[in-house]
Structure formats: structure tokens, C-alpha cells
Amino acid sequence: MIVVTGAAGFIGSVLIWSLNQRGETDILTVDVHPSDAGEPNLEPLRYDRGYQDHEAFRRDLADGEYDDELRGILHMGACSSTTETDWDYLERNNVDYTRDLCLAARRVGARFVHASSAATYGDGSRGYSDDHAALDELQPLNLYGRSKHVFDLWARDEGLLDEICCLKYFNVYGPNEWHKDDMRSMVCKGYEQVRDTGRVKLFRSDRPEYPDGGQKRDFVYVKDAAAMTLWLLDHPGANGVFNVGTGRAHDWNTLMSAIFAALGREPAIEYIPMPEHLRGKYQYFTEAQMGKLRGAGCDVPITPIEDAVRDYVTGHLATGRHLGA
């Protein structure tokens, strides 16, 4: 049995779809009760073990309910809001909960793959190395990133990084993210702007070395991110902290141009001032160092950004089709 937490969410539901694509249905889905917005992500998918509330799963796991049948836990469940200000809540939900699941999985020798985040890298001034020795140097810009970083440090200090995977997902975009509201990717938001107004808005640059719309991110298609995650599930000898990205940064102008191209339109981009609350906290450049994951043997191909955006726009955004539907 494979357990997927955060199952009704973005990456969690895509992992279930990816497992289904290879014929695997012995899956238990775990989440808070799915909202009306999140339920469509699960509806087309196959998971023979059904659905369980996240706290009930935590108790059953601690009680040994799944000791004889647990193959692995893909732990994607967390509060992922980068604007959350309640540290006590994040510590309970993102740190303590993850520790409990990790220790229970290791007690029975099950695979534990956990979603960390590229938010742990902060402003990027200390680089994007997933080497364990670099963990002490990182300074996340928000409490969400801090919560992920605290778990990574705990796992290292407890000697668990040679037994589990902590995955630092970069800017993931793709189908099944509709329910995320303001946390949706700019591909999703940008498509809606183009559909409704014929143009898209991007932030102006406050740094002379970056033109307007020239800020760069490592954008990774969710189908590729899920494939890398399942590769690690299947290879228990590959452990530690790993970046999950493409290894190549693209600027916002390129990303938006790919949306217009998928729709058969000429780009029409308007640049707007950077909001005050983002100044000093906005990442101008992110790029995953992928050598460690590739060196472990992961040969999952990366979909070119133009092809990935076209697949997302034409196959999902324009049709409203969830994966598996």
C-alpha cells in the first residue's frame, strides 16, 4: 500500500494520477476533508484504500494499523501558504505532523518521501545547493519556508537523511491547481488574464540587472515533478535532500509568451509596480541545481517549457479537465 497525503491537493493528486498511469491503485488517500474545490482532483482517480482524515491517519499509523502492508508514504500534505503568520500552527501542522509520519514509516521500514520546498532557499543569495552541508546557511524569507527548513534540519540532525527523501520543489505548475486560489501558478493566472482581457500583467523590476518581466524562476511542469518523485519512491537507495526542478531558469516574459503561443496570439504584456508587501521578499532568480538527483541515477526527462505550457493550456486550462477525467 502507498499512502499519499495532501491527496486532494495539487502535487498529491498528480502523484495519484501518475501511479494510476502505471497501473497502481493500492493507494490510501489522506487529507483534511476535501473542499468542494479540491474534490474534483480526486474524483477521476483510482485509490482502492479510500480516503482518510489526516489526524485519523496519524493515530492509526502510530497504533500500528498499517505495519504489515505499508510500502511508502508520499507526504505532500502541509499548509503551503507563504503568507501564513501563525508559527505555532505551522509548527504543529508542517513540522510535528511530518516528524510523526517519518518516524512511523521508518519504524516499519517503509519509504518516506516528503515535500520540502525551494522556499527554504530564501532570496537565493546563498545559492541553490541541495548538499546537506549547505543547510545551515539558508535563511527562508517566510514562515512557511522556515517550517520546511526546520524539518530538514531535524532529519539531518537525527541521522535520517540517509533513509528518507526531502524534496525541494521549485516553481511547479500544471493541471489540478485550480483550488489553490491566489497560490496558483502564474501560468494558470496568466491564462485567465489573457482569456478575459487579451493581455497579461507582470511586475516591473526594481533591479537594474533585470529588465521588466526578466526576473527568472525555475518553472517545472507538475507531471515531470511527479515522475521524479515516483522515481525516488522506487529507488530506496537514493536518499537525502534533493532539488526537484529543471535546472534551467526562464524569465517571466518567456513563460507568458508560451501562453500566448499556445493560444495562437501575439504577446501583449503590461508591467505594473511591485507591491510594497513583496519588496525585499521577492525572488529575482531561482534555478535548481539538479546534479545530485541526476547523479543518483534519476533519468526522468524534462518537458521543454513551450511544450509543457501548451499541454497545460490546451489540454486542461482551456477545457477545465482534471487529470484522469
pLDDT tens digit string along 17-41? 999 999 999 999 999 875 554 589 9
Judge whether residue 170 has pLDDT over 90.
Answer: yes
Helix (H, G, I), strand (E, B) or coil at 107: helix
Does a structural domain hold residue 82? yes
- Span 216-220, average pLDDT: 97
Residue 83, C-alpha cell as written in the block = 503568507
- The CA–CA distances, whole Å, from 184 to 152, 172, 179 equal 25, 9, 8
Judge whether residue 93 has pLDDT over 90.
Answer: yes
Query: Rounded CA gap, 170 and 193, in Å?
Result: 23
Quick one: pLDDT at residue 33?
Answer: 73
Catalytic residue among 47, 121, 144, 312: 144
Among 55, 312, 75, 22, residue whose Cα is nearest residue 177: 312
Among 263, 241, 261, 268, residue whose Cα is nearest residue 304: 261
Cβ pair 3, 74 in contact under 8 A: yes
- Residue 105 pLDDT grade (very low, low, confident, very high; cuts 50, 70, 90): very high
Judge whether residue 1 has pLDDT over 70.
Answer: yes
Angle 164-10-302 from CA coordinates, rounded to 5°:
70
- Span 80-94, average pLDDT: 94
Domain that holds residue 124: 2-173+219-248+287-303
- Span 164-184, average pLDDT: 95
Cβ pair 101, 73 in contact under 8 A: yes
Does a structural domain hold residue 153? yes
Q: Is 223 a catalytic residue?
A: no
Residue 277, CA atoms < 13 Å, CB-side half-sphere: 3
- Residue 182 pLDDT grade (very low, low, confident, very high; cuts 50, 70, 90): confident
This prediction has a pTM of: 0.96
Query: Rounded CA gap, 281 and 31, in Å?
Result: 30
Quick one: pLDDT at residue 85?
Answer: 94
- Span 202-213, average pLDDT: 95
Does a structural domain hold residue 231? yes
Does a structural domain hold residue 149? yes
- Span 199-223, average pLDDT: 96
Count of domains observed in the chain: 1
Query: What rounded mean pLDDT belongs to the chain?
Result: 95
Quick one: pLDDT at residue 38?
Answer: 59
Does a structural domain hold residue 110? yes
Largest CA distance in the chain: 59
CATH of the domain at 12: 3.40.50.720
Does a structural domain hold residue 37? yes
Does a structural domain hold residue 211? no
How many of the other CB atoms lie within 10 Å of CB of 69?
12
Q: Is 144 a catalytic residue?
A: yes
Does a structural domain hold residue 272? no
